[in-house]
Structure 1
Amino acid sequence: MVAVVVTHPSPDDPLAALEVRDRAPEPVVSPPEDWVPVTVRAASLNHHDVWSLRGVGLPADRMPMVLGSDAAGVGPDGEEVVVHGVISQPGWTGDETEDPRRSLLSERYPGTFADTVLVPARNLVPKPPEMSFEDAACLPVAWLTAYRMLFVRGGCVPGQTVLVQGAGGGVATALTALGSAAGLRVWVTSRDEGKRERALALGADAVFETGARLPDRVDAVMETVGEATWAHSLRALRPGGTLVVSGATSGASPPADLQRVFFLQLRVVGSTMGTREELQRLLRMCVTTGVRPLVDSVLPMADARDAVERMVRGEVEGKLVLTP
């Protein structure tokens, strides 16, 4: 058995906290008895894993911890499944993302970067036979985040123009591909010419330098960059437009520009992850439209250090997938 583990908080050097072990450590908090095992066939890396290595959202007293928040594999009855990584408390019946005591796999309970992961039975979603394990493993975190941003929190509908700030990462590529498949006009920004070209290949209608003046104002902006692009995002919106934010990789203290917000009646909406039902709808959308995740590389789990290093350096286009 191979398990990818964070051993201690390492804010300045996340790779120093990563260890690939022959077996998973005993969990600090044991999963409840009614959880079921899933044999992992593929799991994908997310920025959440890098933050965990830095000790953000994962205190030292929960370490060592198996990393990984999403996966596709085989359930206890032999069925092919996708793991929904948002863990709500027993008895919670509403939107899982609104449970104040929710967690992700790898925050309180061992994650998916191992041969086997234990999850609540209610968190298993049937994997469509049309999708590979590698593609399906990319959906529960990055692609579900993008789906919720666009269609649930953003309320985007065909024919609208959406600006995606930043290209290249898992959420940004998902926003571009899903928006294009849904009939949105998708504009994408990036400092990197190669990433702009790849955004066009994913279905973007136009690409621009980061911070560039746009030919028109947009109906909605999808914001995951934060401080570096926030002012541009607000300026890009038409009156009454919506800014959906689900991350702040460049910093979380942007200038508010409240006068623009209230004078133009802009909506600033937070978004995080998604529900099991939304994951089911995302899977159906992928099957119906044929849209699939952009997979940068598929690596054996034993090479997780190389994958994390590439993510830390910002060298990833789409998703990195790990297989046991």
Structure 2
Amino acid sequence: MKAVVLEAFGGPEVLVSRAVPEPPQRRGWVTVALRASALNWHDVLVRQGRYGSPLPHIPGADGAGVRVDTGEEVVILPSLFWGADSAAPAPEFEILGDRVAGTYAEYVSVPEECVAPKPAGLSWAEAAALPLVGVTCYRALVTRAGLRTGESLLIIGAGGGIATMALSLGAALGARVWVTASTDAKRDRAIAAGAQGGVLHSDADWPQRAREISPDGRGFDVILDAVGLWGRSVQALRPGGRLVVLGANVAERADMDIRAFYFGQYSLLGTTMGSPSDFRGLLDLVAKGRLSRPVIARTFPLADAAEAHRHLESGGEFGKIVLLQ
């Protein structure tokens, strides 16, 4: 089969298209003939060697295609080996494309619990773009934060796949959503997509500006920080608010004012990609028509994965980048 193979760690140029053997048959696993594979920032970290993937290796977490044994159109949940405890993943948990060969290929093999029927009405690109960001946002906003109708939500870092999905999911849950963004264009795109408003997190005083545009100027009920700015994000919370953190691509350390934190009665919630149960909850929202379609910024042929990575790292896109077979 054709695949994009990581033969060394480094920049986008290390992603090479070549022929490799098809995945072997295993009891309890299914093979999917992929039609589309979506990119995630996680793929960049795998490419850079941050997860110690074995070499040579096929990266890629997100995908949609046709189940070979049944002919069913499916989407793939990238959470492997979650385990029986819904509160947190088992020690064996990993993300598809970390160590198990991923979706930058014509075929992929995954545990049977990690496939679900492709939502009706979604294109292959949209279906492939849904699972990782969708289940991650569902776990963050529903399972962890318990976001409720009428609450206010601030999303840090509008433009990427997580942020655009969180905006859609927040609206589906009946929340009022605001954003921070790195550029006026991204903020304006988020507002056009349904956000109430936004501020630029390139401004030094952005937490104060964000608080000023929150309901009654008290701060937000929930803040979703997928980039690692939560040492400052917490300053835009209302007293008793919840800060949900799930990423660190901007910063991997945060300085906190401890007294301000506990006097503010804040909750700090760490979260990861979701479980099979979270995935079922997400797909139920999609089936009921409550969740808008994933935003596709651009598509590339599978063989052009290196160029797709360059676009992803440029940070200029709004929405998901997808590889098509």
TM over 0.5, shorter chain: yes
Equivalent in the alignment of 1:313: 314
Equivalent in the alignment of 1:41: 35
SS at match of 1:280: helix
The answer for unaligned runs of 5 or more in structure 1 is: none
Q: Alpha carbons of 1:40 and 1:97: their partners in 2 closer, same or farther (altered >3 Å)? A: farther
The answer for unaligned runs of 5 or more in structure 2 is: none
Of 192, 199, 205, 1:208 maps to: 199
SS at match of 1:36: strand
Equivalent in the alignment of 2:298: 297
Q: Alpha carbons of 1:103 and 1:249: their partners in 2 closer, same or farther (altered >3 Å)? A: same
Alpha-carbon separation, structure 2, partners of 1:221 and 1:167: 13
The CA RMSD measured in Å over matched residues stands at 1.8
Task: Tell me if the contact between 2:149 and 2:173 (Cα under 8 Å) persists in the aligned partners.
Answer: yes
SS at match of 1:232: helix
Confirm or deny that 1:223 pairs with 2:225: yes
Shift of 1:122: 1.6
Confirm or deny that 1:163 pairs with 2:131: no
Equivalent in the alignment of 2:60: 68
Shift of 1:97: 5.0
Alpha-carbon separation, structure 1, partners of 2:178 and 2:147: 14
* Identity fraction in percent: 38
Shift of 1:158: 0.8
SS at match of 2:5: strand
Q: Which amino acid aligns with 2:117?
A: P
1:141-156 aligned at under 5 Å gives the runs 141-156=132-147
Q: Which amino acid aligns with 1:239?
A: P
Shift of 1:177: 1.4
Confirm or deny that 1:242 pairs with 2:239: no
Task: Tell me if the contact between 1:130 and 1:287 (Cα under 8 Å) persists in the aligned partners.
Answer: no
TM-score w.r.t. structure 2 length?
A: 0.91
Equivalent in the alignment of 1:4: 4
Alpha-carbon separation, structure 2, partners of 1:256 and 1:31: 49
Equivalent in the alignment of 1:81: 74
Task: Tell me if the contact between 2:37 and 2:128 (Cα under 8 Å) persists in the aligned partners.
Answer: yes
Shift of 1:24: 2.8
Alpha-carbon separation, structure 1, partners of 2:284 and 2:3: 31
Task: Tell me if the contact between 2:136 and 2:273 (Cα under 8 Å) persists in the aligned partners.
Answer: yes
Alpha-carbon separation, structure 1, partners of 2:106 and 2:284: 27
Task: Tell me if the contact between 1:6 and 1:52 (Cα under 8 Å) persists in the aligned partners.
Answer: no
Task: Tell me if the contact between 1:71 and 1:138 (Cα under 8 Å) persists in the aligned partners.
Answer: yes
Q: Alpha carbons of 1:189 and 1:74: their partners in 2 closer, same or farther (altered >3 Å)? A: same
Shift of 1:271: 0.6
Shift of 1:189: 0.7
Larger deviation, residues 133-142 vs 237-246: 133-142
Task: Tell me if the contact between 2:12 and 2:307 (Cα under 8 Å) persists in the aligned partners.
Answer: no
Alpha-carbon separation, structure 2, partners of 1:308 and 1:136: 20
CA deviation profile, 1:40-70 (whole Å, cap 9, x unmatched): 01110001110011100124xx111101111
TM-score w.r.t. structure 1 length?
A: 0.91
CA deviation profile, 1:25-48 (whole Å, cap 9, x unmatched): 688xx7844321111011100011
